[in-house]
Structure 1
């Protein structure tokens, strides 16, 4: 099987397409769409977003030291893209996209009420990397939409919200589950038991 060599690039896909909300008061509330995001630590729970310094939200987040990662869905795909190509300097993204700013529990930045999951974050460090600055943050609270909670098990069923993924310039709805964490080991153990 032949492979081609390409120049170094950001080819780690798919990624979550998230809307990051920020601002300490309604006059400066803003939303930026980010795909450069992820988990970096479990205990304490920490994540990151990477933002270009020339983006309007960059200075807001740097000043307030807070932001909210709002998971996006198929129903939010248009707003997700729109909030990524428009600047908060020119438009009020909450108003234009008919999104509702909600109250965070631990920080001043608003959550997006239409998001199934909102992750409240406090910035711990800013790393200048080149085209982007990485905001390393501690998760201080998570708000989950009750419509997607299985109250019998206590599990959050994000798949029911039809989460959105970003891959090399395109948005995708996530497909069917093919396994769960540890299923490869459990499957092997089950086969070994049957063969005894």
Structure 2
């Protein structure tokens, strides 16, 4: 039997799918970022929680906070390279969606862009904001 090790409180990696958050910026242009922290947090009302690093200048975070609406898109296994690029590049420097060849349409329930190349999307409205650290 292996010995258990106490890791003490710290940030840990948990299996979680990468998702793409998309929102319109102040000019109405679609922007997006890759998130490692996203999970369901309520059945009634249906709700998800996301974490975006707020310690750096993040264009998509700014857009989500200003608009109060966004879309989460779940990438497929064949979209790993595009998802990685969207997570690394800055929307202030490059049109990430155009660069990877993704297209968007306006969501039906919220004022945010849906990435057409995503098979599963969730249209979201900001309900609550909690600042708890870097993410």
TM-score, normalised relative to structure 1: 0.63
- Structure 1 spans left out of the alignment, 5+ residues: 133-196
CA contact (8 A) 1:70 1:111 kept: yes
Indicate which of 61, 81, 90 corresponds to 1:58: 61
Indicate which of 118, 123, 126 corresponds to 1:120: 123
Distance in 1 (CA, whole Å) between partners of 2:41 and 2:12 is 19
Q: Who is 1:36 aligned against? A: 37
CA contact (8 A) 1:24 1:108 kept: no
**Higher normalized strand content (fraction of residues):** 1
Distance in 2 (CA, whole Å) between partners of 1:45 and 1:128 is 21
Q: Secondary structure at the match of 1:124?
A: coil
TM-score, normalised relative to structure 2: 0.90
Rg larger in structure: 1
Residues 44-75 of structure 1 deviation map (CA, whole Å, 9 limit, x = unaligned) = 11111111122221111100001101011111
Distance in 2 (CA, whole Å) between partners of 1:98 and 1:26 is 20
Distance in 1 (CA, whole Å) between partners of 2:74 and 2:26 is 22
Q: Who is 1:23 aligned against? A: 24
* Distance change (3 Å), C-alpha of 1:73 and 1:50: same
The structure whose RCO (Cα within 8 Å, separation 6+) is larger is 2
Corresponding residue pairs, total: 132
- Structure 2 spans left out of the alignment, 5+ residues: none
RMSD: 1.6
* Distance change (3 Å), C-alpha of 1:124 and 1:109: same
* Distance change (3 Å), C-alpha of 1:122 and 1:18: same
1:71 aligns with 2:74: yes
* Distance change (3 Å), C-alpha of 1:24 and 1:59: closer
